[in-house]
Amino acid sequence: MIGYYNYTVILTYLSLIFSAFGITRVFSGGENHVFAAIFCLMLSGVCDMLDGVVAARRPRKEEEKLFGIQIDSLCDLVAFGVLPAVICLDLAGNTRLARVAAILLILASVIRLGFFNVQETMRNREEKRKVYLGLPVTLVSLLLPFFLLLNLLFHFRQSLFLPICLLVFAACEVSRIPIRKPYGVGKLLMILFGIAVFTCLILFGKELQV
Query: What are the residue ranges spanned by the domains of the chain?
Result: 7-208
pLDDT in tens, 78-119: 999 999 999 999 999 989 999 999 999 999 999 999 998 998
User: Does position 123 have pLDDT exceeding 80, yes or no?
Assistant: no
Mean pLDDT of 185-208: 83
Section 20-41 average pLDDT: 90
Q: Residues near 189 by Cβ (< 8 Å), separated by ≥ 6? A: 182
User: Are 45 and 193 in contact, with CB atoms under 8 Å apart?
Assistant: no
Helices (H), the chain: 10-28, 33-56, 62-77, 83-92, 96-122, 140-154, 158-173, 184-204
Task: State pLDDT tens for residues 149-193.
Answer: 998 888 889 899 999 999 999 999 999 999 888 887 888 899 899
Q: Give the rounded percent of residues in the chain with a pLDDT score beyond 90.
A: 56
At 209, the pLDDT band (50, 70, 90 cuts) reads very low
- Residue type for position 154: F
Residue 190 to residue 197: CA distance in whole angstroms: 10
Q: What is the pLDDT of residue 122?
A: 77
What's the CATH number for 7-208? 1.20.120
Quick one: angle between helices 33-56 and 10-28, nearest 10?
170
